[in-house]
Amino acid sequence: MRGNSEDQLPDLREGFCTSYHRGVELIGRRWNGVILRELLLGARRFSEIRRGIPALTDRMLASRLRELEAEGIVTRVVYDETPVRVEYELTEMGRDLEQAVAALNRWASRWLPED
Amino acid sequence: MRGNSEDQLPDLREGFCTSYHRGVELIGRRWNGVILRELLLGARRFSEIRRGIPALTDRMLASRLRELEAEGIVTRVVYDETPVRVEYELTEMGRDLEQAVAALNRWASRWLPED
């Protein structure tokens, strides 16, 4: 069997585009995919994200969250309580990644065996 | 508005899993996303993939195709003609990435401006 017919994929047919290229590498950058999946489940405190992802250090998580904030995908919300509570949540742009993350999740659970 | 309710995302709820983590980083590895999008349109010769992706060198493309072959996503088909014709096409596992690639493509065209 050969690859898919070109007719089936109209929205892939526009040739190379920098936005797709940036998007796919942003999602795939080390740890971003799992951080996004965690935040798609709802707003999370720093320590809650950490707990959900073994092997991710505080330093790396802080750096990734800053990058995702700069990209407009994550927002940091400070609740003025005592003690102050800080949560990370997805912006509209971030929540819109739900379909892509769910599709990758399904693909991975189908094809990549757990270690 | 807060993040999505947990009820909406049953298939994201399984906690950290190495298969998703590996999958998302495999797709996001430099150039893999665009090579996959190109091959989702059909079998391609090496030079055809190169032409579709400016800034990708021969050496880098060869290395990425070898990796994708080793992962079981791409297969190299040699047609015994004169001169020999070699094409790269997706395996069933590779074609199954269509939904994820299409979802990322839609997200990127919606949110990331072209340079």
- Is the separation of the CB atoms in B4 and A40 below 8 Å? yes
Q: Say if CB A104 and CB B23 are below 8 A apart.
A: yes
Cα separation, B42 vs A92, in Å, equals 34
Top-confidence residue, A6 or A81 = A81
Fold of the domain spanning B17-111: Arc Repressor Mutant, subunit A (1.10.10)
> Alpha-carbon distance B22 to B45, whole Å?
27
Q: Determine the residue among A107, A110, A115 to mutate to test chain B binding: the one whose Cβ has the most chain B Cβ atoms within 10 Å.
A: A107
Q: Which residue has the tokens 């030079």?
A: B47
Which SS3 state, helix, strand or coil, does residue B52 take?
helix
pLDDT per residue of chain B (115 residues) written in tens, 0 to 9: 444 444 444 466 555 578 888 899 898 888 999 999 999 999 999 999 999 888 899 999 999 999 999 999 999 999 999 999 999 999 999 999 999 999 999 999 999 877 6
DSSP state of B54: T
B-proximal residues of A, 52-71, CB under 8 Å: 52-54
What CATH number is given for A18-111 in this structure?
Answer: 1.10.10.10
Q: Residue range A23-40: average pLDDT?
A: 91
The Cα A16–Cα A5 span in angstroms is 18
pLDDT at res. B115: 63
pLDDT of residue A13: 58
**Which residue is listed with tokens 């190109």?**
B38
- Whether B102 sits inside 8 A of A12 (CB atoms) is yes
Distance (Å, whole) CA B99 – CA B56: 24
ipTM for the complex? 0.83
- What pairs with residue B90 in β-bridges? B74
Q: What is the pLDDT of residue A12?
A: 66
Residue that has been written with the tokens 């980083």 in this structure: B25
pLDDT of B113: 78
Of A7-11, A15-19, B93-97, the one with minimum mean pLDDT is A7-11
CB interface of A with B, residues 2-31, below 8 Å: 2-6, 9, 11-13, 15-30
**Nearest CB to A27; choose among B89, B96, B104:** B104
